[in-house]
């Protein structure tokens, strides 16, 4: 009985093309898998840019895109020069209007007054993705110390009363779009972006603030900036309101 013969490929010439083809297939599959992962990440992290908030930086030179409701004296204005009152007929000369120049571009919004009042500046934001709200804020308080009672005075129809105690505050909230504009009810206030608290410094230079809006994705929220004063001028400013991608 003869021993079985073993046939070998001549010097590997018949085997190597098969190995090369397998290597190519593996490389192609790996490349396709990497592309699929990259596309999935792109979709998951957000493939679209956040919508532009019309006139979020007040660069039209007016309050286009925003709504103002004011009670008592004073109002929200757009200004260009931090030492020129935007409405000379609505400013307390002592102390004179003196706020930072617009922190972004040529214009920003600011409150000015010649007596006590409460001033709401607001707009609705449709949260179409996992956006982060950005704004730049500042204030100059020349009245009594910053105080932060959880109310904006009393409202009876169009008649406002600042109450019998000092109420000097600037706060920015996200509220339910259907809420009455002066509401501070827990069910109406979704989040607070910025709030001057008792004991805070009498002035704050331009400071960026942010709020992650992703908890309200698919909903519309109302951004409300409120300044109230009944014990001396408190000039509050806001600028550069826009949506950004979340960084994570």
Site residues, Ca ion (CB under 5 A): 57-58, 102, 104-105, 107-108, 239
- Are the C-beta atoms of residues 137 and 194 closer than 8 Å to each other? yes
Which CB atom, from 53 or from 125, has the smaller least distance to Ca ion?
A: 53
Helix (H, G, I), strand (E, B) or coil at 14: coil
**Smallest distance, Å, CB 104 to Ca ion?**
4
**Smallest distance, Å, CB 69 to Ca ion?**
22
Contacts of 174 (CB under 8 A, 6+ apart): 133, 189, 190, 191, 192, 193, 211, 213, 216, 221, 222, 223, 224
Which CB atom, from 104 or from 114, has the smaller least distance to Ca ion?
A: 104
**Smallest distance, Å, CB 239 to Ca ion?**
4
**Smallest distance, Å, CB 80 to Ca ion?**
10
* Residue with token string 């046939």: 7
From residue 21, give the alpha-carbon distance in Å to each of 13, 18, 25, 29, 75: 14, 5, 6, 12, 75
Which CB atom, from 200 or from 240, has the smaller least distance to Ca ion?
A: 240
Q: In whole angstroms, what is the distance from residue 192 CA to residue 176 CA?
A: 12
Which CB atom, from 57 or from 143, has the smaller least distance to Ca ion?
A: 57
Which CB atom, from 16 or from 101, has the smaller least distance to Ca ion?
A: 101
**Smallest distance, Å, CB 133 to Ca ion?**
16
């Amino acid at each position: 009985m003869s021993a079985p013969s073993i046939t070998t490929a001549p010097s590997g010439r018949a085997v190597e093309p098969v190995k090369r083809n397998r290597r190519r297939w593996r490389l192609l599959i790996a490349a396709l898998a990497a592309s699929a992962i990259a596309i999935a990440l792109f979709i998951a992290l957000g493939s679209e840019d956040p919508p532009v908030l019309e006139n979020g930086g007040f660069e039209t030179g007016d309050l286009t895109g925003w709504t103002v409701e004011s009670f008592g004296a004073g109002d929200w204005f757009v200004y260009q020069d931090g030492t020129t009152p935007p409405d000379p007929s609505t400013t307390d000369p002592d102390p004179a209007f003196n706020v930072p120049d617009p922190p972004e571009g040529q214009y920003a919004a600011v409150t000015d007054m010649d007596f006590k009042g409460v001033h709401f500046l607001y707009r609705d934001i449709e949260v179409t993705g996992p956006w982060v709200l950005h704004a730049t804020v500042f204030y100059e308080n020349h009245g009594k110390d910053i105080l932060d009672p959880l109310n904006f005075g009393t409202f009876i129809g169009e008649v406002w009363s600042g109450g019998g105690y000092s109420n000097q505050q600037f706060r920015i909230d996200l509220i339910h779009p259907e809420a009455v504009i002066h509401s501070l009810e827990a069910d109406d206030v979704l989040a607070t972006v910025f709030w001057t608290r008792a004991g805070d410094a009498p002035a704050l230079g331009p400071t960026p603030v942010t709020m992650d809006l992703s908890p309200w994705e698919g909903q519309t929220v109302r951004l409300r900036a409120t300044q109230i004063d009944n014990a001396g001028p408190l000039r509050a400013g806001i600028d550069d309101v826009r949506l950004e991608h979340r960084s994570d």
